[in-house]
Amino acid sequence: MANNTKKVVLNGIISAIVVLCLFFAAIMPTGKLSFYALSSFFVSVIIIEYGTKSGWFFYILTNLVAFILIPDKIRIIPYTVFFGAYGIIKYYIEKLNNIVLEYIIKYIYFNACLAAAVILFKEIIADNAITADIKFPLWAGIILLEVIFILYDYVYTLFIQYYRQKLKRYL
């Protein structure tokens, strides 16, 4: 019984942290990407502690709570489409134990999410008057985001290692 209580409490606390990160991503004028990235790290804690089924449950739970609590629903999309699921996807991909294949699959996933974001932005969100003033070429932005993705994946891996080596024993 104590183990189930610990699981519920840990899920609740970490879910609250994730939703706070998403709330800050929604309201802050800058640093949104940092809050989305931070929000994504916590699903790996749940996977390490309780497995992938719990990771999926945590992902669904945080999406539902964020949808209920965050007024601007469109701000939840980056978490729902990419950041929230990335820890789970990363777990499955890294079970392949083939670094080249892992990065190929990670890039396919990232670029599929990026393509969806670009289409969503161009077709649904962006006002033509706003996008007409942007002088930064789309291809340059995509390359920049792909470089940032490499850094993000590396930092995510460091977070997982740090959690396993230093923090896990305290939970």
pLDDT band at 97 (very low <50, low <70, confident <90, very high): very high
Say how many domains are in the chain: 1
**Residue 35 confidence (pLDDT) above 70:** yes
Q: What is the pLDDT of residue 100?
A: 96
Average pLDDT for 111-138: 71
pLDDT at 133: 56
Q: Which domain holds residue 126?
A: 2-170
Identify the pLDDT of residue 122: 74
Question: Per-residue pLDDT for 132 more than 60?
Answer: no
Pair of tokens at residue 60: 């669904």
Confidence (pLDDT) at 139: 81
Q: Name the pTM for this structure.
A: 0.87
Please give the pLDDT value at position 129: 45
The pLDDT tens digits of the residues spanning 149-162 come to 999 999 999 999 99
Q: Is the pLDDT of residue 128 over 90?
A: no
State residue 19's pLDDT score: 96
Tokens 């990771």, residue located? 55
* Of 92, 28, 26, 82, the residue nearest 59 (C-alpha): 82
Name every residue whose Cβ is closer than 8 Å to that of residue 70 and which is 6 or more positions away in sequence: 19, 22, 23, 26, 76
